[in-house]
Amino acid sequence: MSTENNWKEICHIDAIVPNAGRCALVEGEQVAIFRVSKSGNDELYAIHNHDPFSKANVLSRGIVGSLSERVVVASPIYKQHFCLQTGECLEDEATQLKTWQVRVENNMVQLSA
Amino acid sequence: MSTRLIVIGNGPVGHKFLETLVESGAAGDYEITVFGAEPRPAYDRVHLTAWFETRNADDLNMVSEGFYEDNNILIRNHEKVVAIDRANKTISSDRGLTTSYDKIILATGSFPFVPPVPGHDRDNTFVYRTIEDLEAITAASKHARVGTVVGGGLLGLEAAKAIKDLGLKTHVVEFAPRLMAVQVDDGGGAMLRGKIEQLGVSVHTGKNTQQIIDGENAAHKMCFADGEELETDLIVFSAGIRPQDELGQQAELTIGERGGIVINDHCQTSDPDIYAIGEAALWGGRIFGMIAPGNNMAVAAADHITQTGESTFSGADMSSKLKLMGVDVASVGDAHGNTPDSLSYSYINQVDGVYKKIVVDKDRKHLLGAVLVGDTGDYSNLLQFALNKMDLPEQPDSMILPSIDGGGFAMGVDALPDDAVICSCNNVTKADVVSAVAAGSVTLGDLKDTTKAATGCGGCAALTTQLLNSELTNLGYEVNTDLCEHFPYTRQDLYNIIRIEKIKSFEELLEKHGTGHGCDICKPTTASILATCWNDHILEDKHHVLQDTNDYFMANMQKDGTYSVVPRVAGGEITPDKLIVLGQVAKKYDLYTKITGGQRVDLFGARGEQLPVIWRELIDAGFESGHAYGKSLRTVKSCVGSTWCRYGVQDSVGAAIQIENRYKGLRSPHKLKMAVSGCTRECAEAQCKDVGIIATENGFNMYVCGNGGMKPRHADLFATDLDYDTLIKYIDRFFMFYIRTADRLQRTSVWMDNMEGGLEYLQSVIIEDKLGICAELESEMAHVVGTYQCEWKTTIEDPEKVKRFDHFVNSDENDSNVVFVKERQQIRPASEDERKDLIATA
């Protein structure tokens, strides 16, 4: 379980446009952080930025959306969908991305590293 | 030992025979030689008049590349067979060749009948049968003012149109008391005549030409039996055809009293080793001067020779539907009511110029025939009733009366028997369509591909569509045209919703009409529609998150996550100074440089954070976004045109630049490509573009709905000899109508193919303004053109937007995963192994 000490400050919430992602560098790893907004409520998600299909670091630049009940991002290269909650690939169950806990404190985005 | 098969005649029907033989898989058993008297291989004589559109014989060519070579067929064009020696089983040609045969196919066609009046062979008299005839007519027209066609039948009226289009005062002289005497009755003929005279063609019926002598004000004077005279500079005889049965006579085959080589149901002549097909053949005492029966004969002969099929020729229905000089004309079955005791109903509307007549049997049970002039919408319906002997409704006239208050008559396609022929050009039956639908062809476009239905004259497109829809329902298909799970609408619905409700953002659209968060399908689609309707900047916060991969950073993402940069080079014209800037920028940022197919330069390997600085330099040097990343207008390619080229007839570069600057940035359901060629040599390859423009001496010809790519398609000729302003008006309307009504990622070709009525319908909407929307389309386009901004210029002026291009939100580092190696003096992305090595040693 994460503790208070693990939270690492990344950026101001305004640096991420609602319903978009940005990439952060956290302890040598690329993390795609997404801000999903509907009716003014923000939910934040963080998954690995590396797209295992194209092997490029691009997921933060994908389109955010939902499929059935799951909130997903579509890879900008070959368009596979990844569940933002679990990191699972919807088209290929065997592919699973690392996820991080993420929250907003005093308008600052924090990641549990 | 293979069979020696000789095909005499290389026209459409002879070629159909060869195609059928090859398709049967039996061609390998034959040693095939084809003789053609004309200088070129088989071409589409049915559409001969289309030669005038481009004056390029290749456009009519029917022989696919490598057809003869791949199938081991020896082709001898420009060589005429002059004798058949049945005793020794040899033939001999006018070039002195004698060769033996086992079987012969006579597909010698017909020759035009020229009435043997004194003077018929004077200079500047022509027939209308071959490309050479058309070339000769065109050459003669340059020194003529008045042209006359003798013969007011189908081909005569086509010839008249050609002569009129060549700029001559045009007359049509017909022996019978009406035009198209075979197909239409007096009422229909009168309506047709009125319409054709309105077009400025003078029609003279009931005229018996007695002699042709020197004219006083023109080259010829035609003298008629009634004492009248007509002066004209050139004459085209189109007074019917006669079977080309010379060889049959020479070989002493049985010949009909009035000509034609007599055949049986297998198309065998009186010598079972010799077959005759097409217009040279006489079956049941009749010559069939149309393509569909000719094709059926070709198939029957091929089936019989190879024993691969069982089809026979059993006569043909000569019903037809055509457009002559812009006038719709159709004729079904017994159009003249020759059947004893038959009854007829007719409808005449002089206001709109419509004439309709149906002929029914004495019990009013069955339809025997029909004539339609001015409106042929009922043709397929009536044809099916006549062909399938279907029971008529209680009031047969309801079939041709206009549908006032939603009345009128429409046949349920379910009532058709399985063997009902839906497409008579390609002999596609209802059963063929039904099984194709069951096998997965669920759009009209698919059906055209799989069955060839509606790909000939197109007259059956409406019926095919009805059948398709009814079959989908029968099969329990729920045709789900929803864009995606978030919107129960088609793209076209969403377009209308956004326009009508003046919706300005995806959020608003989702709230009012959708569910969930949206996805990578509905978001870019909405972004594109919003851009067309309101033309806001695509990177405004509310729009930015909707953009697909490339629009997101306004550059084309490559496989390693880097981008390529393509500035606009309108029309492919670029100054040396600008070219130097491109080189300098590429060098400074070490970008891989390649010339694109659209006549511009692509710079690859830019990292996201480099894009704004690269664009700053490009914009300072006068470049602007090339929209290579968007589903939008890409380029207008051009040849160098009349400015430099010896052959050019218009300034194609100037036109291309103007056109590219007009439509740049226009968002659309798919990418749009254009080209302008300065002459008919077509060096800009305009016929593989969504809109292609080919300059003519009188203006521009406009082609639409072509594309290259995975499934190449030639564009269709849409309008001819337009002046520049009219051209722009048509393009405005065409693009906007496409953007309004196409599906997501549907290119213009598929869009048109799926449209009931296809090209003709499109012409009626865009040229004739059938839907009354052209003014709207033009004003919508004017808005897009008037609100254009260079997306990159606006972006680099906004520091907040520029920050989004950084790879990391919390670090100035670059993506260490992007690694290049050198190849042919330029960078390329490292392969996976190379990358691992390089990262390890770094």
Helices (H) and strands (E) in chain B, counts: 27, 38
Other Cβ atoms closer than 10 A to B778: 15
Which domains are present in chain A? 4-112 (2.102.10.10)
Matching CATH topology for B3-110+243-306 and B125-239? yes
This prediction's pTM: 0.61
Q: Which residues contact B340 (CB under 8 A, 6 or more apart)?
A: none
The whole-number pLDDT of residue B411 equals: 56
Q: A16 CB near a chain B CB, below 8 Å?
A: yes
How far is the alpha carbon of A20 from chain B, nearest alpha carbon, in Å?
A: 6
Choose among B517, B549, B557: nearest Cβ to A65: B517
Cβ contact, residue pair A77, B545, below 8 Å: no
Q: pLDDT, tens digit, for every residue of B456-470?
A: 666 677 778 878 888
Contacts of B264 (CB under 8 A, 6+ apart): none
CB pair distance less than 8 Å for B545 and A17: yes
Which of A11, A30, A67 is closest, CB to CB, to B519? A67
**B604-653 tens-digit pLDDT:** 999 999 999 999 999 999 999 999 999 999 999 999 999 999 999 999 99
Report the phi/psi class of residue B206: left, alpha or beta, with left for phi > 0 and alpha for psi in -120 to 50: left
For domain B3-110+243-306, the CATH class is alpha beta
Q: Choose between B321 and B221: higher pLDDT.
A: B221
- How far out from the chain centre does Cα B484 lie? 32
For domain B556-786, the CATH superfamily is: Sulfite Reductase Hemoprotein, domain 1 (3.30.413.10)
Domain B425-479, CATH class in plain words: mainly alpha
Structural tokens at position B328: 């719709």
Cα within 13 Å of Cα(B76), Cβ side: 17
Q: At what angle do helices B576-588 and B611-620 cross, to 10 degrees?
A: 160
Chain A residue with Cα closest to B524: A63
The residues in A 83-102 lying below 8 A from B, measured between CB atoms, are none
| Mutation target among A33, A37, A44, A61 for the B interface, most CBs of B within 10 A | A61
As beta bridge partners, residue A31 has A24, A48
Paired residues of B150 in beta bridges: B173, B237
Average of pLDDT values for B332-359?
90
What's the one-letter identity of residue B513? Answer: H
Does residue B38 surpass a pLDDT of 60? Answer: yes
Task: Give the pLDDT confidence score for residue B403 in this predicted structure.
Answer: 62
Q: What is the pLDDT of residue A53?
A: 92
CATH for B125-239 is 3.50.50.60
pLDDT at B194 over 50: yes
Distance from CA of A13 to the nearest CA of B (A): 11
- B812 to chain A: closest CA residue: A25
Note whether B815 contacts A30, CB cutoff 8 Å. yes
Q: Is A35 on the interface with B (CB under 8 A)?
A: no
pLDDT, averaged across chain A: 91
Question: Is B516 close to A66, i.e. CB distance below 8 A?
Answer: yes
Strands B169-173 and B202-204: what pairing? parallel
The pLDDT, as a whole number, for residue B290 is 83
A65 and B CB contact within 8 Å: yes
Interface list for chain B against chain A, based on CB atoms closer than 8 Å:
485-486, 516-520, 522-524, 541, 544-549, 552-553, 557, 559-561, 608, 803-804, 807-811, 813, 815, 817-818, 832
Mean pLDDT on B588-594? 97
Cβ contact B545–A71 (<8 Å): no
Q: H/E element holding A104?
A: strand A99-105
pLDDT of residue A5: 59
> Which of the two residues, B326 and B798, has the higher pLDDT score?
B798
Domain boundaries along the sequence of chain B: 3-110+243-306, 125-239, 425-479, 491-547, 556-786
Q: What are the DSSP calls for B66-86, one per residue?
A: THHHHTTEEEEET--EEEEET
Q: Do B518 and A66 touch (CB under 8 A)?
A: yes
- pLDDT class for B193, splitting at 50, 70, 90? very high
Q: List CB contacts of B224: < 8 A, sequence separation 6 or more.
A: B173, B204, B207, B208, B209, B210, B230
Of B548, B608, B808, the CB nearest to A24: B808
Instruction: State chain B's mean pLDDT as an integer.
Output: 90
Beta strands across the sheet bearing A41-48: A7-12, A108-112, A99-105, A41-48, A29-38, A20-26
**CB nearest A25 (choices: B553, B608, B811):** B811
Per-residue pLDDT at B478: 65
Tell me the one-letter amino acid at B660.
E
> How many contacts (CB atoms, under 8 Å) link A and B?
102
